[in-house]
Amino acid sequence: MTQQQPESSRPPVRALAFIRRLFSGEKEKPLDANLPVPPARLASTRPSQRTILRHQSEKEYALDLAPESVHDAMLPSIDPGVFDNEMLKQKLYPAIDPGNESPVQEPEGNIVEGTYLGTQTFASLFDVLGIEAALPRYRSLEQQKELYQWSAYPTNADGTPAQYPPHLQHIPQGEAVSPLRIFSAIGLVETQVLLQKITPDKDGILGRTKEWLLARAQEAAFGGAPERGVKIQDVVDYNKYHRKFGTDIAGGGNIGLLDDWFGDRRFADQQFTGTNPTTITQATPRWIAEFSAAAKAGNYDKWVAALAKADPKSLFVQDGSYFRKAVGEPDPAAVLHHQQPGSDECWTVGAVSLFQLHEDGKLHPVAICIDYKGSMDKSVTIFNRRMTPRDSTRGEKDDWPWRYAKTCAQVTDWTRHELGVHLTLAHFVEEAIIVATNRTVPMDHPVYRLLHPHWSKTLSLNAAGRSTLVPQLAVEVVGISPAQCYSFLRDAYDTYDFVGSYVPNDLRRRGFPDTQEGLSHPRYRNYAYAKNALGLWTALRAYVDAMLRIRFPDDASVAADGHVQAWAAEMRGPARMPSFPELRTRAALVDAVTMCIHIAAPFHSAVNYLQNFYQAFVAAKPPALCAAPPTTLAQLRGYAEADLVAALPINRPRQWLLAAQVPWLLSFKVEPGRSLLNYAASQWHMHKCKRDEADRQVKSASERLYQDLQRLQTVFYRNSKAMDKGSIPYMVLDPGLTAVSILI
Ligand SMILES: CCCCC/C=C\[C@@H](/C=C\CCCCCCCC(=O)O)OO
Ligand SMILES: [Fe+2]
C-alpha cells in the first residue's frame, strides 16, 4: 500500500529537518515543508494479514473519545515507520551499534512435529503469525538448558548482593535482537546522545561533535532545552509548542495540555486509568486510624468528622510507606536523596495518599502523607481543602501546599511504577518465566508453544534495560542511590505474589469486585483498567484452557507431566519465586499459563504505553524532587508557587530532557502485526483448513479467542465512554493496541 500522508499528518518540520541535516551534512538550511513522506510500513502484505489489519480502528476511538482540549492541542501524528525506514537504519547502524546485530535466522527444516498441532511445524506456525521471524531452530531440552543459564541471585559468588532479579546470563547466539529492531532509530540516537554514549572520536556520524549532536537532538525533541522558568505556567506554555512528534496512542498529546492537569480530578483519575492503575488498594483499619489521628493533629475538623462517618470500604490508599525498607534503609526517618557525580541532587519520598471512592464513581483525594517516616505523627500529612469532588475547583490552581503534596505522591508513584511495577513485575518477572520455561519445557510441549509468541524481543530489551537504562539513566533522574535502586528492584521481585496477582485475585485483594457484574456498579464506572484487564483475563484463560485440554484432559495428566512439574520447581527454586504455584491440577496449570501471557501482554501494555501521555510533561509526574521536602506541616502550609518550582526539574534542562525522552521512546504504538488481536487472528487463520481432531480443537479455541477479543474492542470502547464526562480515553488495552509481548 502506498500512501501520501496528508498535510495535517506530517511531522513537525523541525524533527524532519534534524534527521535530514544529520545525514546530509547540511548546515542550518530550513527544510522544505513539502518533503514527501515515505509510505508507512505494513506488517505484511498477505491477504490474510490485510484482513487482520482492518480491525485496527483504535485511531478513531482515540479521536472520538479524547477531551476537546487534548484534541485541539494535539500535534499531527505520524507513523513511526517513517523514522524507522531501512535507509535510516543502515546509515545509523554502524555508528551506534557496531557488530551487534544478529542476522535473522530462518527456521530450519529439522523441526520436531508438534504433538497437538498435528502437521504444523514451527516454521509455518510463526511464518503465518508474522510475530517472530527469528525463531530459534529446534533444540533439545539439554541444549536449551545449556544455553539458558541463570544469573546469580540474591548474592554474587563473592557474597555481594546481585544487582538485578534472576535473569538470563547470555542471550543465545542468533537470538539477540538489535536495539534498532526494538526502538525507533532516531529515538535511539537521541537517547544515546543524551546519555553521551556517542562521543565525537568514535561516533563517526558525519564528523559531528557531541555538542552539535546534543544541541540538534534537543532541538528536534523539544525545540531546545527548556527555558529557565520561574512560574509553572512557563513550562505549561513550553509544553504546548515543544512536544515531540506523536508516535504513541495519544498522538503526541499529553496531560499537560489539559487546563486542569494539576487538579484533583486528574490526579484521582490516574489511580484508575493512568500509567499505573494496578496498585490502588482499600485502606486498612490501620491506615484509617493513622489518617484520622493526623486529621485531628492538624486541626482538620471537617475531615475528622468526615472520616468518622465514611464507610471504611470507600477509602483507598496508594501506599509508598514501604520505600525505606525496599531501598534497604533501616532508619525510618532517613531522608532519601542522591547525587550522581556531575549531576544535581535529587530527593525521593514514600508518600501515602488517601482517597475516597464516592458512590457515583468519582474518586476524590482526601489527604497525602508526603513521606511516611515509620508513623504518621513523625511525618507531614496534609488534607485536601476540597471535601468532595463536587466542591468548587476555583481555588485548586493556587493551593500550592496541596499541589506540592500531589507532586510528592506522583514522585512516589513514578518510582513505584517504573522501577517496581513496570521494570520488575512486567519485564523482569516475564524474563524469569522465559528462562525457567526454556530450561525445563521442550520446545514442542504445549506450554512452550503457548508461551513462546509472548516472548518476542523481551530478553534483548531487558538486557538493554540492565546495561543502559538503569545504570545510566534511571540513577540520574531518581532520588535514590544506585545501590538503593537495585535494592528497590530486588524488593519488588522478592515480595511479588504470583498467584495473588492473577487478575481476579488481584482485584479482590485490593478491595474491588472480581467479576464484571460487580464492576458494573456505578461506583466503578471510572475503573476501566479493572474491567478491561478482567475481560482480557477471562478471554485468555478460556483460550489457554481449551488449548491445554488436548494434552491435559484431567488433573492426573497435569500431575504426571514431568516437564510441567519441572517448570513449577524451576520457578519456585532457581527463579526464586516461591509464590509460583505447585501445578497439580488442570485449573492450576491453566491459571499459571494465563498469568504468564497476562504479564507479557495486557499487564505490560497497561503500564507501558501511557508513559508518554502522563510523564512526558515532567511537571505533572516527575521522577524525583529537586529540593528537600518540608519537615513540618507548618512549613508545607506556607508553601508558595516558588517552592513547587524549586521542587521540579524546571531549571535542570538535562534532567527534564532525560525524564521526557524515556517515556516517549518507550511509548511507540504497537505495530498492528504485533498486537494480541493479530496474534489470535493468525492462529485461527493458520488452523482453518486442518482436518484432524487436534487441529479442529485448536481452530475452535483460536477462533473463539479472536472473536472474544473483537467483542472486547467494543466493550472497552463502551467502558471508556462510560467514564465521567471529560475523562481521558482509556483504550490502551484494546486488543488491537495491546502488544502480544513485552517488546518495548
Ligand atoms: C527510567 C526508568 C524507566 C523504566 C522503564 C522500564 C522498562 C523498560 C525496559 C527497558 C528499556 C531499555 C531502554 C534502553 C534505551 C537505550 C538503549 C541503548 O542505548 O542501547 O521498557 O519499557
Ligand atoms: Fe516496557
pLDDT in tens, 106-123: 222 222 222 122 223 333
pLDDT tens across 58-85, in order?
A: 333 332 333 333 323 332 222 323 333 3
More confident residue, 369 or 103: 369
463 Cα–ligand 1 center, Å: 9
Probe target for ligand 1 pocket from 423, 428, 607, 664, with the most ligand atoms within 8 Å of CB: 423
Share of the chain above pLDDT 90, in %: 68
Tell me phi and psi for residue 49, to 5 degrees: -70, -35
468 Cα–ligand 1 center, Å: 7
Q: In b/e form, how buried is each residue of 130-140, taking b as 16+ CB within 10 angstroms? A: bbbebbbbbbe
Please say if the pLDDT value at position 713 is more than 60. yes
Please say if the pLDDT value at position 8 is more than 90. no
Residue 599 pLDDT class (50, 70, 90 cuts): very high
Give burial (CB, 10 Å; 0-12/13-18/19+) of 47. exposed
Which DSSP letter does residue 364 get? E
209 Cα–ligand 2 center, Å: 31
Euclidean distance between CA atoms 264 and 671, whole angstroms: 35
Set of cell numbers at residue 245: 512528534
Residue 325 pLDDT class (50, 70, 90 cuts): very high
173 Cα–ligand 1 center, Å: 22
Q: Which parts of 66-209 fold into alpha helices (H)?
A: 68-73, 86-96, 122-129, 141-147, 185-194, 200-203
Residue 213's pLDDT is 56
**CB 686, CB 124: distance < 8 Å:** yes
Q: What is the mean pLDDT of residues 191-207?
A: 60
Residue 216 pLDDT class (50, 70, 90 cuts): low
Domains and CATH numbers, the chain: 47-76+139-202+222-273+423-743 (1.20.245.10)
Q: Which atom of ligand 1 is nearest to the CA of 474?
A: 1
312 Cα–ligand 2 center, Å: 35
Listed residue (327, 446, 422) closest to 744, CA to CA: 422
Residue 449's pLDDT is 94
In this structure, the residue with its CA closest to atom 19 of ligand 1 is: 192
Residue 355 pLDDT class (50, 70, 90 cuts): very high
Euclidean distance between CA atoms 188 and 469, whole angstroms: 12
Helices (H) and strands (E) in the chain, counts: 34, 7
Which DSSP letter does residue 740 get? S
Residue 246 pLDDT class (50, 70, 90 cuts): confident
Residue 224's pLDDT is 47
Euclidean distance between CA atoms 252 and 233, whole angstroms: 20
Closest ligand (CA of 183): 1
Give burial (CB, 10 Å; 0-12/13-18/19+) of 237. middle
Residue 74's pLDDT is 30
Tell me the residue length of the chain. Answer: 744
Residue 600's pLDDT is 98
Give the H or E element holding residue 64: helix 58-65
The mean of the pLDDT values for the chain is 82
Count Cα neighbours of 202 within 13 Å in the Cβ-side half-sphere.
9
Residue 698's pLDDT is 86
Residues having CB closer than 6 A to ligand 1 are: 179, 191-192, 197, 418, 422-423, 427, 461, 464-465, 468-469, 473-474, 608, 662, 666, 744
Euclidean distance between CA atoms 620 and 571, whole angstroms: 38
Euclidean distance between CA atoms 330 and 333, whole angstroms: 9
430 Cα–ligand 1 center, Å: 15
Closest ligand (CA of 196): 1
Euclidean distance between CA atoms 179 and 175, whole angstroms: 13
Residue 133 pLDDT class (50, 70, 90 cuts): very low
Q: Which atom of ligand 1 is nearest to the CA of 426?
A: 7
Residue 384 pLDDT class (50, 70, 90 cuts): very high
Neighbouring residues of 170: CB distance < 8 A, sequence distance ≥ 6: 149
Neighbouring residues of 293: CB distance < 8 A, sequence distance ≥ 6: 376, 377
180 Cα–ligand 1 center, Å: 13
DSSP 691-722: -SHHHHHHHHHHHHHHHHHHHHHHHHHHHHHT
In this structure, the residue with its CA closest to atom 9 of ligand 1 is: 465
Set of cell numbers at residue 375: 508513623
Q: Which atom of ligand 1 is nearest to the CA of 604?
A: 22
Amino acid at 472: Q
Q: What is the dihedral of CA 608, 612, 617, 622, to 10 degrees?
A: 20
Q: Which atom of ligand 1 is nearest to the CA of 179?
A: 20
Residue 130's pLDDT is 40
164 Cα–ligand 1 center, Å: 14
Closest ligand (CA of 663): 1
In this structure, the residue with its CA closest to atom 1 of ligand 1 is: 474
Which stretch of 48-57, 524-533, 705-714 has the lowest confidence by average pLDDT? 48-57
Probe target for ligand 1 pocket from 469, 610, 612, with the most ligand atoms within 8 Å of CB: 469
Residue 104 pLDDT class (50, 70, 90 cuts): very low
Euclidean distance between CA atoms 359 and 523, whole angstroms: 5
424 Cα–ligand 2 center, Å: 10
Q: What is the mean pLDDT of residues 431-443?
A: 98
Residue 227's pLDDT is 54
Amino acid at 381: T
Euclidean distance between CA atoms 531 and 446, whole angstroms: 29
462 Cα–ligand 2 center, Å: 9
Set of cell numbers at residue 77: 501524528
More confident residue, 463 or 136: 463
Tell me the three state secondary structure of residue 137: coil
Residue 218 pLDDT class (50, 70, 90 cuts): low
Please say if the pLDDT value at position 202 is more than 70. no
Please say if the pLDDT value at position 196 is more than 90. no
Euclidean distance between CA atoms 697 and 339, whole angstroms: 59
Q: What is the mean pLDDT of residues 165-177?
A: 93
Closest ligand (CA of 600): 2
In this structure, the residue with its CA closest to atom 21 of ligand 1 is: 744
182 Cα–ligand 1 center, Å: 10
Euclidean distance between CA atoms 597 and 604, whole angstroms: 10
Residue 86 pLDDT class (50, 70, 90 cuts): very low
Probe target for ligand 1 pocket from 666, 741, 742, 743, with the most ligand atoms within 8 Å of CB: 666
Cα separations (Å) of 723 from 231, 276, 360, 361? 33, 17, 11, 9
CA 97 to chain centre: 25
Residue 377's pLDDT is 96
Please say if the pLDDT value at position 371 is more than 70. yes
Residue 577 pLDDT class (50, 70, 90 cuts): very high
**CB 600, CB 655: distance < 8 Å:** no
Please say if the pLDDT value at position 734 is more than 50. yes
**Residues less than 5 Å from ion ligand 2, measured at CB:** 608
**Sheet of 352-357: strands edge to edge?**
281-282, 315-319, 352-357, 363-369, 381-383
In this structure, the residue with its CA closest to atom 6 of ligand 1 is: 423
Euclidean distance between CA atoms 695 and 680, whole angstroms: 15
In this structure, the residue with its CA closest to atom 12 of ligand 1 is: 465
Q: Which atom of ligand 1 is nearest to the CA of 659?
A: 1
Which residue is listed with cell 484533583?
Answer: 264
Residue 66's pLDDT is 38
Euclidean distance between CA atoms 169 and 152, whole angstroms: 9
Set of cell numbers at residue 570: 524451576
Listed residue (151, 120, 150, 147) closest to 136, CA to CA: 147
Q: What is the mean pLDDT of residues 507-524?
A: 98
Please say if the pLDDT value at position 342 is more than 80. yes
Residue 159's pLDDT is 94
pTM for the full predicted model: 0.84
More confident residue, 228 or 482: 482
Cα separations (Å) of 295 from 280, 291, 364, 369, 530? 21, 6, 16, 11, 31
pLDDT tens across 652-707, in order?
A: 888 888 999 999 999 999 998 999 999 999 888 877 776 688 888 888 999 999 99
